[in-house]
Structure 1
Amino acid sequence: MGPFARTLEDFFTHRGLALPTDQAERLAAGRRKRRIVAVPDSLRSAVAAFDASRMRAQDRARRASTRPRSDHTLETALAILRDLALFLTEHCGKDDWALADVHDIEAFLATLPKARKRRLVVLRQFFRFARSQHLILVDPTRTLTAKEPNGFRGRTLTLDQQRELFRRWTTDERVHPHEALMGMLALLHGASTSEVRMLQITHIDSVAHTVKLGKRPHPVPLDSASWTVVQRCLSHREAWPTANPHVMVTKGTKAGRSPASTAYLSHVLDDCGYAPRMIRSTRLLDLVNTMDPKLVAAAFGMDPQATLIYLADRVDPGRLPAPPKTAGATTHRS
């Protein structure tokens, strides 16, 4: 489906004149198929059966109105299994899932230590499925652990870097409005790329100077600098003849009603040199360590456990009281 066909689909479905097509489902099926085809022949059938069972579970969850796994989650799992299958055949010389042992899995997880926890979750699910289908006798992931600390291990900005970015997004007219919007909302209000991506015109209150971000229970009040950036982004949007309800409108979305792609949001801050996650983590880390983490979780619409990882296990020296002076600590010479 080309851009013109997508525009027509948005037009007719928005007005209730037609049902949406299955374009997204067919694209997702193609991505899953490419990942399965990349698995070596001897190991492919088990991965295909695992994918089929997950698709049935997704369909059941949709019909039961529960929370089905997203297409991205299913595709990521297949990519991990593809990488494991290639690792077993190329580095371990094994062409059967039944031959994989705990040492092979441990060696595979060691190739990407930072992704160990996420990979291990997928591998446990796959080998449990394989054992239930009598494809293997022993689950090689049964005794493995994630071995990851729960604390925050990401990178953050220094105070000087934050000041530099603030000046860039509030004074430099050459900066693209989308970059300034994403940056300021992340730097001052801890907004995620998803929250900025789904931000719509109706979420902005021009009287109270507030915006509705994601699943946050209350509108977020904006300071004068952030409000100026929002107005600049709206002015950039008005220059395009579009009926798209979102604040961020790109060349690919101006003719429809869908939000900007996640790929666009992931690169919108490339010119400033810092990733959106790094900027947002800086704000969350500061809020959690100066306020009650439960209050931060409630304000951001997050799970209370999610904010605890940002809680540092140290106290800044500047916040400690001055040590008491001891008697006789100073002497005077005559």
Structure 2
Amino acid sequence: MAVDPTRGLIAKEANDFRGQALTLDQQRELFRRWTTAEHVHPHEALVGMLALLHGTSGSEVRLLQITEVNHLAQSIRLGEQRHPVPLDPASWTVLQRCLEHRDAWPTENPYVMVTKGTKAGRSPASTACLSRVLDDCGSPSRMIHSTRLVDLVNTMDPKLVAAAFGMDSQANLIYLADHVDAGRLRAP
């Protein structure tokens, strides 16, 4: 009688990315919303744009302080990243809208995102506030952030992406796709 040598072994599940990512059309629609729609709150536009174009996490935006904004270089310093992040004109404009919104309130709060609850103090916006800031656009911050990481990891060297985002060099490998986008293939 044959013995099954694999009996008793438990196969680990693949550690692949299981989250959702936005389609290119959805990304374009959000970009237009955050750069042209007058009714969009400046906090939504800032969190969304920085996640969509710069892969910034919601907590990094929540903890962004005024002193980390370099007006001359049009850049910001995020979280643990060693280098400032240069902003494209659209992101810089959205940041300026957020700063103008902040300046409308008399506050000594050092954070870029100031809410009714934080304008009198010196603490950042709450995580609960941040979790609701993108409700009107219909896409959670995590999905937008993941969309950018999926795109970067699949078009660049994953180790460079990890270094740019201050991640462990193996952490972003889950974002590697198991297929090639037909739009990236050279025509026959």
Other-structure match for 1:304: 169
Q: State the number of aligned residues.
A: 181
Partner residue of 2:49 out of 178, 184, 189: 184
Other-structure match for 1:270: 135
CA contact (8 A) 1:217 1:300 kept: no
In percent, how many aligned pairs have the same letter? 77
Which one has a bigger Cα radius of gyration?
1
SS in 2 for 1:309: helix
Flag structure 2 segments of 5+ consecutive residues without an equivalent.
Answer: 1-7
Flag structure 1 segments of 5+ consecutive residues without an equivalent.
Answer: 1-142, 324-334
Other-structure match for 1:284: 149
SS in 2 for 1:179: helix
Partner residue of 2:100 out of 235, 242, 253: 235
C-alpha displacement of 1:147: 4.2
1:228-273 deviations in whole A, cap 9, x for unaligned? 0000000000011110000000111111111011011011000000
> Cα–Cα, structure 1 residues 317 and 234, in superposed 2: closer, same or farther, change >3 Å?
same
> Cα–Cα, structure 1 residues 233 and 309, in superposed 2: closer, same or farther, change >3 Å?
same
Q: Distance in 1 between matches of 2:23 and 2:111?
A: 32
Other-structure match for 1:246: 111
C-alpha displacement of 1:319: 2.7
Other-structure match for 1:200: 65
CA contact (8 A) 1:242 1:254 kept: yes
Equivalent positions of 1:1-334 (< 5 A) are 147-323=12-188
> Cα–Cα, structure 1 residues 145 and 228, in superposed 2: closer, same or farther, change >3 Å?
farther
Specify the code of the residue in structure 2 equivalent to 1:151.
D
Higher relative contact order (CA 8 A, sep 6+): 2
Q: Distance in 2 between matches of 1:161 and 1:243?
A: 37
Q: Distance in 1 between matches of 2:68 and 2:77?
A: 5
1:119-176 deviations in whole A, cap 9, x for unaligned? xxxxxxxxxxxxxxxxxxxxxxxx9979432111110101111110001000011100
Select the structure that is richer in helix: 1
Q: Distance in 2 between matches of 1:253 and 1:223?
A: 28
CA RMSD, 1 decimal:
1.6
Q: Distance in 1 between matches of 2:185 and 2:126?
A: 46
The two structures have a TM-score, normalised by structure 2, of 0.92
